[in-house]
A and B are shown apart, each in its own frame.
Chain A
Amino acid sequence: MGKMVGGFLVPHDPVMFVVPDAPPADVAKRMWGAYTTCAERLAELDATSAIIVGADHYFNFGTGCLPQYLIGTGDVDGPLDVLPGLKRQIMPTSEKLANFIAEHGYENGFDWAVARAFTVDHAVAIPDRLIVEPVRAKGQSIGTIPVYVAAGVDPFLKMKRAVQLGAEIRAAVEASPDDERVVVIGSGGISHWVGTPEMGKVNEAFDREIMDYACRGDLAGIGALSDDYILENGGNGAMEIRQWAVAMATMPGARGEIIDYAPVKEWVTGLGFVQMFA
């Protein structure tokens, strides 16, 4: 049977790749270094699969189909939106576990949309490349399973449903027949305004509130946040805390530890890195 062995909550800021030198050098170094710390800590968990929870940015899905939640059950590559230093490549997967999670969902009230050959965008590609890939490079075999939730394009996944989805993922992992050691990475946020007149604004108070939920393992707290509150205080980009909620719900009660945080206006985002301990 499978087991959740740990998790990380991290940003996926493409602007870091477009203008890496825009912030003060010490801040930029810390933020890139935070990904390295996540990779080092991932290596200690002896994981076999990494479920990376991201959100579409109106790249992957168009007006013709907007899934509430989707899982990549087959071949995966990415990113769709290539960036300087982030070219498209094939990603190792855990197809058997991904398909089991989908099937388990169908039996338990979660009608997953599936992507059987999926080109992910930067939401999954950035944490895969910066956190998982360095561990693979050291010889560990870790398959990535992409999960996408509706956080960038309405209708948005309800926060309470995000929490339920995380619990379902955990139940599926624990019911899986193989001895998988699974890490979850919630990829997104924290405060950022994307494409709106407020773009460039960062709300550190909101960011610390969200990280505090993660550190205390307060699923009820984060799950109770209204969309109006999130949009007002964290911007349209902060709707991505759904990914954090899904990840937190795979390890209910798990405490978190802040690896690093900085409000980086030059990268238009409050960048928070949290490790969750199973």
Chain B
Amino acid sequence: MSRNVLEKLMHQLCVDRAVKQRFKEDLEGLLSRYALSEDEKAMVRNFDVAAMQKHGVNAMLTLGFWSENAPNRHPSAYMKALRGSSGQGEVFSAALKHS
């Protein structure tokens, strides 16, 4: 497994409108264009930003990916996904990119 291709897709899902649109409309078709492992594809499908970071994906990309594409883009939802259901700590209204 390589974080490089996953970071490539994450970057495009932050900055490329056409890729973001295909993510919404044809996720499996989009994923087939990238040399991702099944585990990596699952991270994308499930918005598993915690697993992505453990995999080495840059945290600015996981935040951007979530802020641009997640069903619930609120920062608190991102932090919950990142910290897990048992995660503790304050959540602030941080967002590098506003939607």
Contact = CB atoms under 8 A, between A and B. Distances in A.
Interface in A196-224: 196-200
Interface in B37-73: 50, 53, 58-64
Interface in A38-67: 57-59, 62-64
B83 A197 contact: yes
Interface string A187-199: 0000000111111
A235 to B, nearest CB: 9
B7 A236 contact: no
Contacts of B95: 14-15, 18
A175 interface: no
Nearest to A80: B15
Given A59-B15, A195-B60, A236-B59, A18 B89 contact: no
Nearest to B65: A195
Contacts of A197: 50, 79, 82-83, 87, 89
A18 B93 contact: yes
A80 to B, nearest CB: 8
Nearest to A199: B94
Interface in B78-99: 79, 82-83, 87, 89-98
Which of under 10, 10 to 19, 20 to 34, or 35 or more describes the interface residues of B? 20 to 34
Contact of A200 (B58, B92, B97): B92
B4 A265 contact: no
B63 A195 contact: yes
Nearest to B3: A63
Contacts of A154: 58
Contacts of B53: 196
Of the candidates A15, A58, A81, A84, the one having the most CB atoms from chain B within 10 angstroms of its own CB is A58
Given A194-B96, A198-B89, A266-B92, 20 more contacts: A14-B95, A18-B95, A18-B98, A19-B93, A22-B92, A58-B14, A58-B58, A58-B61, A59-B14, A62-B11, A62-B15, A63-B7, A81-B96, A154-B58, A194-B59, A195-B82, A195-B96, A196-B82, A197-B79, A199-B92
Interface of A: 14-15, 18-19, 22, 57-59, 62-64, 81, 83-84, 152-154, 194-200, 236, 265-268
